[in-house]
Chain A
Amino acid sequence: MSQSTAPRVVVVGAGVSGCACALAAAEAGVSVLLVNSALDSVGSPAYGPAVWTDPRIGELEEGALAVRPSPSEPLETLGRSDTHETSESIKMPAHEPIRPAEALAAAAPGLARAWSRHSRLPADGSPVLLVDRRSVSLETKWRLENEPLVQLRQAVVTSVTSRSDGTVLVESAFGEELEVDVVVLAVGLGLGGTVLVGTQEFPGGRYGEVAADRLFESLAAQGVAFREKKVAVGARLACRSGALDLRLLAGNGRVVALTLYEADGELSPNEECLSSGDRGILPPSPYEDPIRRSPGAVLVDGLQTDGALGPEGVWLAPDGIVTGEWYLDPGVADATTRSIASAEGWWIAEPRHSVRGNVIAGDRSGGRCPREILDGVWIVGQAAGAEGYLESLESGWRLGRDLGRLRESVADSAPRTSASAARGKPPTHDSDQGSGAGASS
C-alpha cells in the first residue's frame, strides 16, 4: 500500500483483542490497518464458546444483547483498576473507567449479533453467554468491513522494529513493508506458539493457524522479555442428530444422569444478522432454520465409567448451533470424553489439546492492561497476559480508546524526537463519561 495514504496505526492480529482495539480506535477517530494471517478467521473467540459474563454487568435483556449496568452498582471497570510499574522497560497506563456494558456490545459486535443463548450455571448463578463462534466471526468481520476507519488486510507479519526516529517498521512474509507510528500486537498465543495434541507438537497460535515465529524472534531480538504460557483447550464433540436430541446421549448406557439447563430467555438474532443492508434478499443460510437452534448448556453429572469425573460433573456447552458441536471443559479426562462420545450419533470432532505460547513477562497481576513494550509498540489481549475472553476484549478496547489520545499528543508535538516522549506518557483523563462507546452500535 502507498506509504503516504496508509494508516499510521497497525493492529497485528484480528482475534478478540485486535478487533476490539480496531473498533475502539475507529470510534475515537483513529484510522487503523487491521492485519490477520488469514482473513477468514477474524474475530472468533479462541478457546470455546462460553463468554463468562461478569455479574456486575447486570441483567441480559431478553431479545437482544443490551447489557446495562445494574443501577445500584457504581461504574466500574471489568478488571482490576490499579496502575502498576513493573520494570523500567514496561510501563502501563493508568486505567480509566469505561462502561462495561457498552464496551462489551461495541467491542464485540459479533456477540451482539450472533446466534447465541445464555444459561445460568447453577453453582453461582452467574450468567454465561454461549455463542456460536462461526457467526461471531462472520458478524465481526462484516462490522469491521463496514467501519470506514478500519482497513482489513491479509498478511503474516514477520517483524516489528521500533526505530530511533520514533517510527515502527512492520514487515510481512511476502516482503511488504510499512512504516507507522504505532503497532498494536494482538497475537494471542501466536508468538512462538505451539499446539500440543496427543504425542504431536506443531507450530500454531491456535489449532490450524500458523504461528508468529519470526515476529517473536524480532521482538526478542529487541530485548522484549517473555514468559511461557499454556492454555488447555477442551475437546469438541459432535452430535449428528442435531444439538436438540440429547436423548441419545442419555441412553448410551454410560451416562447415568444429565441435566439440561435451558437458556434464560431466547436471544433472537439481531435483525441485521439476517438482513443485508443494500444487498436485498440473501441466499438461504442454515442459521435461519429454527430447528437448529441449540438449547443451553448440558451437565453430565453421573457417568458410569472409570473416567475421572469431578463433583461438578462435565459441562457440555453448545459450540456450533447448526452443526451440533459441543465443547467440553479441558479438565475432562480423555476416558470420560470417550464415554460420553460413545453414545450413538456422537463422536469426538476435535481432540483435547493445549496451546503454548509466549506472553509478556512481568507482574502477572496487572497482566490485563495493555502495555507498551517498545517505543510505539503496544501489546494487548492474551499476549499481554489477559486471561479469558472478556479480559482480552477489555484490554484491546481500552487501548483502542487510548490511541485517540496518543494520536492527539503526537500530532501536537512538532519535532519527531519528542513524539516518543509524548507517547510514553500516560494519557490524560479529562472527565470521561465513557461516551462514544455506543451501546447498541
Chain B
Amino acid sequence: MAETTTYDVVVVGAGHAGCEAALAAARMGVRTALVTLSVDKIALMPCNPAVGGVGKGQLTREIDALGGEQGRNTDRAFVQIKMLNTSKGPAVRALRAQADKRLYEDWMKVTLFSTPGLEVIQGEVASLDVSRETVRGLLLADGRRVRARSVVLAAGTFLRGRVVVGQRTYAAGRVGELPATLLSASLERYGVELGRFQSATPPRVDGRTIDRAGMILQPGDAGSLGFSHWERPRPRTQLPCYLTHTTARVHDVVAEYLDLSPIKTGSVSGRGPRYCPSIDRKVINFPDRDRHPIFVEPEGARTHEMYLQGLTTSLPVFVQEKIIQATPGLERARLVRPGYAVEYDYIVPQGLSSALGVRVVDGLYSAGQVNGTSGYEEAAAQGLMAGCNAALYALGQEPLTLRRDQAYIGVLIDDLVTKGVDEPYRMFTSRAEHRLLLRHDNAAERLSEIGHSLGLISDEQLGRVHAESALLERAADLLDSTRLRGGERTDELLESLGTSRLTESQTAAQVLKRPQVSFRDLVQMIEGPAAEWLAGLPGDVVDRLAVRAQYDGYIQRQLAEIGRLKATETTSIPDDIDYRALEGITVEAKDKLSRMRPMTLGQASRIAGVSPADVSVLMLYIHRIRASQTSRTEGGAAAGGVRSGRPS
C-alpha cells in the first residue's frame, strides 16, 4: 500500500482543533485531508460534556462569527443551554451549553464527510516529511505517503500519551485508545521543543443511582438561545444539572489517601492545570475550605451517565469510590467510568508564530491541546486560525492574525506565543484587557468581515450582519434624538422602577443608561410611531442597544486607550537590535528579549520579566535610532511608528 496522495493542506488529528482546521481549509477552497487514528472517533468530548462558559463562550461565539463550526455543532447537540452572568455586566456574559456527546460527534462527522474538498483518512503519522526546513507532507506508519504544502498538527493529548491512576499507568491517548508514539520523535528531530503536561478527568456515575433530593437543580434557560449567528437551534427538552458540595468528610478521605495521588507520588511528571484542578490538588492547595462545589452533569439525552464536575482526580479507583460515597447525594452512586489523568507531550508555544506556525519548519502549524492549552473552545479557536493560515500559506498569501482588542482568539494566541505556558492554559475574561469590547453580542460585528474575506462567511451571511448593524445604528440614532419630558405617566413609571423622575428633558438614550430602566420600560415612555418601531426590534438588536447605552462611556474610553497603545503596540523593533548593548534595562529583560526576539514593542511588553520601565527604555532607544537614521538621510520626515495618539 505504498501509495502517495497529494493535497494542499493536511491536518493531523480529528479533535476539536483538527476539525475546525480541516473545515476552514476546505471551505477556503484548498484540497484538504484530515488524518486521524480512527474515523470512528471524531470530535470526542473526553472530559466535560459542555461547550462555553465564562471566557470560553466568547471564543465559541467568535469561532462562529468567523465561519467556524463549533457554535453551530453545539447548537445541534445541546441538551441544556443558559446565559451566564446575566446579572453582571455584558463584558462577562457568556453562553454555556451541556452537549449530548454522541450527537456532537455524529454531527461533526457528518459535516466533515459532506464538505467538498475534504477527505478524512484513518492512519497514524510516522514522521513529518521535511526538507530544507520546509514541510513537504507526512509519512504514515502503514507506508502511505501524503504530500502537502502545509500541515496542521492537532494531536491533542495523544503524543506519547499515558493514562495514570494512582501508581498505575498504561500507554494511551485516552482510556482504551492507543497513543501516537512516533510523531514526537519526528518533531524533536526537526528542532521543535516539546514539554510534558498532564490533564485529568473526573469519574462518571450512573445517574439512576444519584439522590437528587439533596441537590440543587440547575436548569437551562427558556427561550431560543444558541451560539450560532446563522441558524436557530431546534427546540428540545432541556436536561438539568445538579449541584452538591464536598464536605469535610470528603476532604478527610482525600487527605487520608493523598499519598497515593500521582501528584504526590510523582508518577505524573507533567504539570497539571491550575484552574481545573483535581480534587486532590484542591485539598492540598485550599486546606481551609470545607466545601467545594460539585456539578453533576448529564452526558447525553440517551445515556444515564453523569459527569462529576469538581471531582477531577487520578487517585486510585477504590479511593474515588470512597470520595463519591462520602459526597452528599452520591452515597449510593455507582461508578461507571473512573477518573484518570493523561500525560502527554505538548509543543512549547513560544516556538510558534502569531499565525500558529512552527518557527523552525515552514508550512507547519500547530493547534489545540498539543500547544499546551486545555478546553475544547481554546482548541477549536486555534484550529480555525491554524487551518486558515495553513490554507493561506498554500495559496501563497499572508497569514491572518487577530489583535488582542479584536478577539479573545487574539488574546489566546498572543498569550501562548509570547508568554508561554506553565500549565494547561484556560481562557478567562480577566485575561482580556479589552473585554468590554470583546463581547458575546458583538462578535459578528467584529469578525464576520474577516470571515467573509477568507471565504468562510457568505455574502448573504455578511449581509445579515450589516443589516443588523444598520438597524442598530438607526435605533441608536432614534434614541439619541428622541427627547423625554417629565410627565405623569413617565414619572410614575420611573418611580415604580426605583429611579428618579425627570427634572429636565433627556434623550431616550440617556434614560436608558439608568440600570433600573429596561428597553421595554423605555419604549413605554415613548409616544407615537417611534415607539411602535422600537417595540418591533429583534431581541439581539435590543440587547446590543442596551449594552451600548449603559456602557458607552466606558467603551469610548477603552477605544481611546487602545488608540494610544496601538502606536506602541505596533512600533516595530529593528531586527538587528543588540539588547545586551542597551543600558538601563534589567539583566533578566535583556536575556528574555534576546531569546524571544519580539517584533513589536507591544509583544515585548507582554514578555514575562520585561517591565514597563524596560519597555520605556526600549522605546526611547528605538526613537533615537530612527532619529539618527533620518538625520543621515536628506530631508526625510521622521520614520517609524512614533506615537500618534489617534484613536482608531
Contact = CB atoms under 8 A, between A and B. Distances in A.
A247 interface: no
B141 A200 contact: yes
A2 B333 CA distance: 12
B213 interface: no
A322 B106 contact: yes
6 contacts: A38-B174, A39-B337, A175-B168, A197-B142, A207-B38, A279-B301
Interface string A307-322: 0000000000000001
Interface of A: 1-2, 36-41, 134, 138, 141-142, 145-146, 151-156, 172-176, 197-200, 202-204, 207-210, 236, 238, 240-242, 276, 279-287, 292, 322-325, 334, 338, 345, 347-352
B176 A176 contact: no
B584 to A, nearest CB: 57
Contact of B304 (A36, A145, A280, A338): A145
Contacts of A175: 165-168, 316-317
B547 interface: no
A198 B146 CA distance: 15
B524 interface: no
Given A240-B113, A284-B76, A153 B335 contact: yes
B338 A276 contact: no
Contact of A280 (B1, B77, B237, B335): B237
Interface in B72-102: 76-79, 100, 102
Contact of A39 (B39, B115, B234, B336): B336
A347 B35 CA distance: 13
Contacts of B124: 200, 202
Given A41-B176, A351-B122, A283 B77 contact: yes
B595 interface: no
Contacts of B141: 197, 199-200, 202
Given A153-B335, A276-B302, A283-B100, A209 B177 contact: yes
B176 A174 contact: no
Interchain residue pairs A-B with the least CB separation, the first 10? A280-B237, A38-B176, A198-B142, A208-B38, A37-B176, A198-B1, A199-B143, A200-B142, A197-B142, A154-B337
Nearest to A158: B170
Nearest to A38: B176
A168 to B, nearest CB: 19
A152 B178 CA distance: 22
Contact of B39 (A209, A236, A240, A292): A236
Nearest to A146: B304
A141 B337 CA distance: 14
B502 interface: no
Contacts of B120: 238, 349
Nearest to B120: A349
Nearest to B302: A142
Given A154-B176, A349-B122, 14 more contacts: A2-B321, A41-B176, A134-B40, A134-B106, A138-B302, A175-B167, A203-B178, A238-B119, A282-B236, A284-B234, A322-B106, A345-B116, A349-B121, A351-B122
A207 B121 CA distance: 13
Nearest to A275: B302
B109 A281 contact: no
Nearest to B37: A208
Contact of B40 (A146, A199, A208): A208
Contacts of B79: 283
B110 A351 contact: no
Contacts of A198: 1-2, 140, 142-144
B39 A349 contact: yes
B533 interface: no
Nearest to B119: A347
B236 A281 contact: yes
A283 B317 contact: no
Contact of B115 (A1, A240, A279): A240
A176 B317 CA distance: 7
A287 B76 CA distance: 13
A174 B166 contact: yes
Interface in B4-41: 37-41
B606 to A, nearest CB: 40
Given A153-B336, A351-B142, A145 B39 contact: no
Contacts of B224: none
B487 to A, nearest CB: 48
Interface string B129-141: 0000000000011
Nearest to B260: A175
Most chain A beta-carbon neighbours within 10 Å: one of B2, B116, B142 = B142
A283 B236 contact: yes
A19 to B, nearest CB: 15
A322 B42 CA distance: 14
B303 A145 contact: yes
Contact of B76 (A1, A283, A338): A283
A273 to B, nearest CB: 10
Given A141-B303, A349-B121, A210 B176 contact: yes
B235 interface: yes
A200 B181 CA distance: 13
Contacts of B143: 198-200
Contacts of A240: 113-116, 118
B303 A142 contact: yes
B25 to A, nearest CB: 15
B234 A350 contact: no
Contacts of B340: 174
Most chain B beta-carbon neighbours within 10 Å: one of A172, A174, A241, A292 = A174
Contacts of B303: 141-142, 145
B622 interface: no
A152 B336 contact: yes
Given A175-B165, A240-B115, A138 B102 contact: yes
Contacts of B174: 38
Nearest to A211: B178
Nearest to A279: B301
A351 B37 CA distance: 12
Contacts of B123: 197, 351
Contacts of A207: 38, 122
B3 interface: yes
A276 B300 CA distance: 11
B361 interface: no
B175 interface: yes
A134 B166 CA distance: 33
A48 B321 CA distance: 38
Nearest to B42: A323
B335 A1 contact: yes
B336 A208 contact: no
A138 B300 CA distance: 11
Contacts of A347: 119, 121
A200 B172 CA distance: 18
B591 to A, nearest CB: 44
A338 B3 contact: yes
Interface in B318-371: 318, 321, 334-338, 340
